[in-house]
């Protein structure tokens, strides 16, 4: 025993490894072995021997390899704990726009049908573009918009106040939206409809935009019928201005979700003022524009309201995200209620006044300036033209009392439609 104890002490003095040092060397060997194994499993960038965190991620199985913690150090926290809470998913999807293009096609088809019914070579002495035969246009003096006669438009469903009030033809308030005075009139309205309508339909869907278009068009027809009582009215401009008004109200009611709010508002108001300013020219029904714009403006508060910024449906709330408590702000709810009340009362009052035969110009002596401002270059007289006629055999004598012009025509079997067309040319 004495000899054995002395031998152990001598070994320690000579520098033989103790048990503690042996364990440390064993841990280092294990770490080096694990590092070599991971180096073989994980691809390295180029010739570099540095392992990047991006390369560690396995894209196929979404698993991550992490090195074991060094002795004496706490383990690293996962990278997800260092990231901010995720944002809520976007819930507004873009709709596919098909209704607005369908409206455009319907308006084009209606113009073709109207021109077919018009049949200028049969009912007029002279036509524009006679090579089009049945689809040729009325003379430029009669219709500068390259389209049919007023009599044809009236037959197809143009807005005529006397027929709406006394003939119980209220359907003309809607049918006139699908008719146009000519090719120029159609192009102007359809280009505007495509630019404004497709954007709105993609944002809010075909149901809301379709209802907004039709109701705004009805509002434009009602305003026109109350103030323009001496001539016919056609065109989709009232409905198009309704979409323009809805864009303005949509910007106001969804104010919190937009960035460049002030600049967008100023630009939109500028566009509205320019378009309404064009309406003071003669032969343009600016009352339909104003009625459609007002109707669309209030309809936008009702149909185009969106939840406030930061609100998320409970079905889409991700972990760690706290949405806004209220879906709509108080001012949004107030605008929605006020607009709905104004629309109901406004349409009810307008319909009652119309079918009672009330003339809006009699109640408002200056309102006619909203549709046309007379200048030295043009007149705002919209009185219907009429002529005195005298027929002897094939000879027809026409006289226009408004300008005093007279003309003699030699026509066999002249019709009333031909006489009206000749009278329009004579008085224009």
Catalytic residues: 237, 289
**Angle subtended by helix axes 206-227 and 286-303, to nearest 10:** 150
**Max CA separation in the chain (angstroms):** 162
Rg (CA), the chain: 40
Q: Quick one: tokens of 136?
A: 């040729």
Strand order in the sheet with 388-392: 388-392, 395-399, 406-410
Nearest to 55 by CA among 67, 42, 68: 42
Contact 204, 190 (CB under 8 A): no
Instruction: Name residue 410's beta-bridge partners.
Output: 395
Q: Identify the DSSP state of 75.
A: P
Contact 297, 247 (CB under 8 A): no
**Tokens standing for 140?**
């430029």
Question: Which H/E stretch holds residue 354?
Answer: helix 330-355
Strands (E), 301-402: 388-392, 395-399
Rounded to an integer, what distance in angstroms lies between the CA atom of residue 93 and that of residue 214?
24
Please give the C-alpha separations between residue 56 and each of 60, 63, 199, in angstroms, as whole numbers.
Answer: 12, 9, 45
To 10 degrees, the CA torsion angle through 289, 295, 298, 301? -90
Q: Collapsing DSSP states into helix, strand and coil, what is residue 76?
A: coil
- Under 8 Å CB-to-CB from 261, ≥6 apart: which residues? 251, 255
Q: Are 149 and 420 contacting, i.e. CB atoms less than 8 angstroms apart?
A: yes
CB contact set of 34 (below 8 Å; sequence gap of 6+): 67, 68
């Amino acid at each position: 025993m004495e000899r054995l104890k002395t031998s152990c002490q001598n070994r320690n003095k000579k520098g033989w490894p103790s048990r503690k040092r042996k364990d440390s060397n064993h841990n280092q060997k294990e770490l080096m072995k694990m590092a070599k194994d991971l180096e073989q499993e994980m691809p390295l960038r180029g010739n570099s021997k540095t392992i990047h965190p991006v390369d560690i991620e396995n894209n196929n199985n979404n698993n991550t390899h992490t090195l074991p913690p060094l002795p004496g150090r706490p383990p690293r926290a996962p990278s997800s704990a260092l990231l901010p809470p995720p944002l809520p998913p976007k819930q507004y999807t873009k709709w596919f726009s098909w209704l607005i293009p369908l409206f455009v096609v319907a308006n084009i088809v209606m113009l073709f049908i109207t021109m077919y019914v018009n049949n200028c070579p049969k009912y007029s002495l002279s036509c524009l573009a006679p090579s089009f035969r049945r689809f040729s246009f009325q003379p430029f003096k009669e219709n500068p918009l390259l389209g049919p006669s007023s009599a044809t438009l009236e037959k197809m469903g143009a807005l005529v106040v006397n027929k709406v009030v006394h003939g119980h033809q209220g359907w003309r308030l809607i049918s006139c939206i699908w008719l146009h005075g000519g090719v120029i009139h159609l192009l102007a309205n359809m280009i505007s409809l495509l630019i404004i309508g497709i954007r709105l339909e993609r944002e809010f869907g075909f149901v809301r935009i379709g209802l907004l278009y039709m109701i705004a068009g009805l509002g434009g027809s009602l305003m026109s019928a109350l103030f323009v009582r001496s001539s016919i009215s056609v065109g989709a401009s009232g409905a198009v201005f309704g979409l323009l008004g809805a864009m303005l109200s949509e910007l106001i009611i969804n104010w919190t979700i937009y960035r460049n709010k002030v600049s967008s508002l100023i630009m939109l108001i500028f566009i509205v003022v320019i378009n309404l300013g064009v309406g003071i020219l003669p032969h343009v029904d600016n009352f339909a524009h104003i009625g459609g714009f007002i109707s669309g403006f209030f309809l936008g508060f009702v149909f185009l309201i969106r939840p406030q910024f930061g609100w998320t449906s409970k079905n889409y709330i991700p972990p760690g995200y706290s949405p806004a408590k209220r879906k709509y702000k108080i001012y949004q709810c107030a605008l929605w209620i006020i607009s709905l009340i104004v629309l109901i009362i406004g349409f009810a009052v307008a319909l009652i006044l119309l079918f009672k035969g009330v003339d809006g110009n009699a109640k408002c002596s200056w309102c006619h300036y909203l549709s046309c401002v007379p200048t030295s270059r043009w007149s705002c007289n919209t009185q219907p033209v009429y002529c005195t006629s005298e027929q002897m055999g094939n000879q027809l004598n026409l006289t226009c009392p408004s300008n005093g012009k007279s003309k003699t025509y030699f026509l066999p079997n002249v019709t009333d439609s031909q006489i009206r067309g000749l009278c329009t040319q004579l008085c224009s």
